[in-house]
Chain A
Amino acid sequence: MNPLDYANYWIAMFLLVTGLFIVIARGNLVKKLVGLGIFQTSVYLLYIAPGKILGGTAPIIDPRFSVYSNPLPHVLILTAIVVGVATLALGLALVVRINEAYGSIEEDEVHALDLERD
C-alpha cells in the first residue's frame, strides 16, 4: 500500500479537524464561522478527490478525450458551496444582531451577560 494513495483523504481529515477545533475552542463568533467554512471546504475535498481519475480530464465532452473525472461529486459540491454561503450569511446576520443586543461577539461575555440578566 502506497501512503500517497490515501494522502488526499488525510489532507481532508486534517483540515476537517482544524475546522472542528476552531469551532469548539474559539469563543469569537466570527472566528467560529470561519472555522465552519474550513470544515465545509474539507468536505468538498473529500468528495471531489475520489472523483478524479489519473490521466482523465474535466467532464466536458470533447472528441479529443475519452477519460473524464466523475461529474456527480462536482454537482453535489456545487450545491454544497452555494448552500454554505447561504448559511454563512445567515450566521453573520445573527452575529450582527447579537452584537447589537449584547455589545459583544465573544461567547463567554454573551453568556456572562445572560447570567447577570437572570
Chain B
Amino acid sequence: MMAITAVTIARLRNLFAVVVLSTLYSFLMATVLVVLDAVDVALTEAAVGAGISTVLLLGTLYLTRSEEAVPVHRAWLPFGVALVVGGLLAFGTLGLPEFGRPDSDIHQHVAPRYLEQGKAETGVPNIVTAVLASYRGFDTLGETTVIFTAGVGIILLLRRSRSDESDRPTDRRDGS
C-alpha cells in the first residue's frame, strides 16, 4: 500500500492531491513503525510527518500554486538511474542480517547494555527516552541546534521578501 501511494505521488500532477497522499503515506509509515515495535518513532512520525509537514506543504501551496506543469521531456534517464541504484542497493541487502533475528550484530553491541542498565542508571522505564535524553544527550543538543538554524534561516528568507516589497518595490524582481 505504501508503494502504491508513493508511485501515485510520482504520477499525479495536482499538487494538492500529492500533499494529501503524502499525509496518507506518513500515516501508513507510522502504522508500520508500530508493528515494528517502534512506538515512539511512530508517534513522532504521525505528529511531524502527517501533521506539521502537511501544514507546511499546504501553506506553501497557498502562497504559490497547486498545479504542476506537464514535463517537456520523457523521464527515461532518471528512471534508468533509479533502476540502477535500486538494483545495486537490492544486491547489497543480501549481505545484511535477516529480519527479526535476535542474534544479528546490532543486538550484540551497546543496545543490551541500555536495556539492562538503563532503568537503574536513569530511572526512566522507556529506554528510548533514556537514550535520547541521557546517553545521547549531546546528539539531541545538536538536533536542537539544527532546528534553531533552520528556524533562523526561514525567518531571514521570509522576512527579506516582505521588507523588499515595502522598501524597494522596483527592485523586487532583481531578487538575488
Chain A residues with CB under 8 A of B32: 45
In Å, the complex CA distance between A35 and B12 comes to 12
In Å, the complex CA distance between A17 and B19 comes to 19
Interface residues of chain A: helix, strand, loop or mixed (majority): helix
B100 to chain A, nearest CB (A): 4
In Å, the complex CA distance between A67 and B116 comes to 11
In Å, the complex CA distance between A85 and B86 comes to 25
Chain B residues with CB under 8 A of A31: 9, 15, 18, 68
Chain A residues with CB under 8 A of B18: 30-31, 34
Chain A, interface size category, equals 35 or more
Chain B residues with CB under 8 A of A15: 2-3, 6
In Å, the complex CA distance between A92 and B104 comes to 40
Answer whether A56 and B37 are a contact pair too, CB < 8 Å, given A87-B150, A97-B161.
yes
Chain B residues with CB under 8 A of A61: 115, 118-119, 125-127
B43-65 CB contacts (< 8 Å) to partner A: 44-45, 48-49, 52-53, 56-57, 59-61, 63-65
Q: Which chain A residue lies CB-closest to B47?
A: A81
Answer whether A44 and B41 are a contact pair too, CB < 8 Å, given A25-B75, A86-B147.
yes
- Cross-chain contact B98 with A79 (CB below 8 angstroms): no
Shortest beta-carbon contacts, A-B, top 6: A54-B100, A101-B175, A5-B98, A86-B150, A17-B86, A25-B78
Which B residues form the contact surface with A (CB < 8 A)? 2-3, 6-7, 9-10, 15, 18-19, 22, 25-26, 29, 32-33, 36-41, 44-45, 48-49, 52-53, 56-57, 59-61, 63-65, 68-69, 71-72, 75, 78-79, 81-83, 85-86, 89-90, 93-94, 96-102, 104, 106-107, 110-111, 114-115, 118-119, 125-128, 131-132, 136, 139-140, 143, 146-147, 150-151, 153-154, 157-158, 160-161, 172-173, 175
